[in-house]
Chain A
Amino acid sequence: METIAVNNSFKSEEYFINMGPQHPATHGVLRLLLTVDGEIIKKVEPDLGYIHRSIEKMCERDSYQQIVHLTDRMDYLSSHINNEAVCLTVEHALQLEIPDRVKVIRTIIGELTRIASHTLWWGVMGMDVGALTTYFYGFRDRELINDIFEETCGARLTMNYNIPGGLMFDIHPNFVRRTKDFIAHFKTKLPEYDTLLTENIIFQKRMKGVGILSKEDAISYGASGPVGRGSGYSCDVRKYHPYSALDKVAFNEALGYEGDSFARYQVRIQEIWESISIIEQLIDNIPEGNHQVATNAVIKLPKGEFYQKVETARGELGVYIISTGTKNPYRLKFRSPGFSNLSLLNRIAVGGKIGDLVATMATLDLVIPDIDR
């Protein structure tokens, strides 16, 4: 009998591909070393450090007032909340009694920051998966929040509005009116986000079942923020360790259960609604009083260790200060949410396609200076 030679020469081969550091979907200078077999991802290895400024080392020679200014260069989309984290740690260490007015204003601006960050994320995420209109919608609405910030804080992005002891200055007379106007306006615009993108069948097919993260992995990898909550992991710092005026407001923790990119997407959209609700509860009840309490020009923390958690738009930011009683911290560590959220990328991207990796990374909402610090 005749044997037929089978051609076995079409073997697939694994090879490396560089994604970044200048790739548009990495939103910053992140380099991913991909090992791929055709379109299938075998391994994702992040290469970090392109924008590392060693903020932690700089903090060791800076005063506590100066450190606040460095923090909005980490996750610049949550700058107000980052500033607040350092201020809360210092105030807690000094056992300062902070006026209620400060607490309420901090919370309102913090939630406005969260809305601004999520709106920008929604815009660029749509663009990542090929929907250019979302980019313009997102930036259009975020612009209105930036205008409010500009009037009150004097800056649109790196706000530096918090100081240890309170706020740099009182809110602008227009702040309450403009915030209310914005909320009323945005409530009519947010449903458009759903009709444009959430309900779009092409978009849903790109997001559903992609980049699935289990709840066990979410906890083990230290996921936080919408990334953890998309997997049904209840981890909202605002619920478990409330700070500023967050213990006075009622809101629901947005949770998803599928753990895929679409669940993380829905959690963020839901969080925008919750932030609107928090602002509505507080905006008419800003207590009268001082906008700061006096601190010494040179702040010296008592000897000891202090830890403060806050919930930024990306998740749990931790500030860990070790003080020896001098005017500088002996050691200051920022536990940044993006760092832990990036570490699980390999876990959820392997086995998927390169195109899925873009959709997955978009819903991790990475800000690279937050990871590199």
Chain B
Amino acid sequence: MNNESLQNLIGSWDSELTFTEEGSEFLNISVQPKQLHRLMKQLKTNAETQFDYLFCLTGVDWETSLGVVYHLESTTHRHIVVVKVQTEDRKNPAFDTVSDIWKTAEFHEREVFDFFGIKFNHHPNLKRLFLTDEWVGYPLRKDYVDEINMVVK
């Protein structure tokens, strides 16, 4: 399915989604945190979309907000879509987990939690993955400071 028909189909499920192809080769969908899990479930189970392969899950610090980017591919139809979700809450950012939909998200979400401090509701085992439990702060955030170990150019 090409980007246009994907947009028409997915847009018919929920009117609050925003779509863009600007600055990206894939169709980008922005979704509100509350609708995230329902949209993801539908993207995977709908017979026409069948996005069964979550090939990349990225945490991003947009400075004004924190977000997660999901790259999805269908192994049947071979189309790709990018889903983005953001929150302005930097103190207590949280989204619903998608690890019940794609198992690979379990590790990827732990990595995002470790480096960005984004919590994932209902995650089966949400704890730091690479860093020790005593580590203070979230290193991949833009405002993270470590005067000893980080070389600033």
Which A positions have Cβ atoms within 8 angstroms of B?
A: 48-49, 52, 54, 56-57, 61, 217, 219-222, 224, 233-235, 240, 302-307, 309, 316, 318, 320, 322, 331, 333, 335, 339-340, 342-344, 347, 372
Contacts and interface: CB of A to CB of B under 8 A. Distances in A.
B24 A49 contact: no
A336 B78 CA distance: 20
Contacts of B131: 49, 52
23 contacts: A49-B129, A217-B103, A220-B102, A221-B103, A222-B102, A222-B103, A224-B55, A234-B75, A304-B22, A304-B23, A306-B25, A318-B55, A318-B56, A318-B71, A320-B69, A322-B60, A331-B61, A339-B108, A339-B111, A340-B104, A343-B106, A344-B103, A372-B130
Interface residues of B, number: 35
Interface of B: 22-26, 52-56, 58, 60-61, 69, 71, 75, 78, 82, 102-104, 106-108, 111, 129-132, 139-140, 150-153
B60 A54 contact: no
A196 B107 CA distance: 38
Contacts of A217: 103
Contacts of A302: 23
Given A57-B140, A318-B71, A333 B56 contact: yes
A57 B58 contact: no
Contacts of B75: 219, 233-235
Given A339-B111, A343-B106, 16 more contacts: A48-B130, A56-B140, A57-B150, A220-B52, A222-B53, A233-B75, A304-B24, A306-B25, A307-B26, A307-B56, A309-B55, A318-B55, A320-B71, A322-B60, A340-B107, A343-B104
A229 to B, nearest CB: 12
A323 to B, nearest CB: 9
Contacts of A49: 129-132
A54 B107 contact: no
Nearest to A237: B55
A220 B150 CA distance: 36
B56 A320 contact: yes
B152 A307 contact: no
Contacts of A235: 75
A307 B54 contact: no
A302 B25 CA distance: 13
Contacts of A335: 55-56, 71
A48 B104 contact: no
B58 A343 contact: no
A221 B131 CA distance: 23
A339 B107 contact: yes
A33 to B, nearest CB: 12
Contacts of A303: 23
Nearest to A220: B103
A232 B53 CA distance: 15
Contacts of A306: 24-25
Contacts of B56: 307, 318, 320, 333, 335
Contacts of A322: 60
Contacts of A54: 139-140
Interface centre among B26, B75, B132 (most CB of A within 10 A): B75
Interface centre among B22, B71, B78, B151 (most CB of A within 10 A): B71
Contacts of A309: 55
A240 B104 contact: no
A220 B103 CA distance: 5
Contacts of A305: 23-24, 82
A320 B153 contact: no
A222 B71 contact: no
Contacts of B23: 302-305
A116 B51 CA distance: 34
B103 A57 contact: no
A138 B132 CA distance: 37
A319 to B, nearest CB: 10
A219 B129 contact: no
A233 B55 CA distance: 14
Contact of A221 (B60, B104, B150): B104
Contacts of B54: 222
A228 B81 CA distance: 22
A142 to B, nearest CB: 30
A316 B103 contact: no
Contacts of B22: 304
A82 to B, nearest CB: 16
Contacts of B71: 307, 318, 320, 335
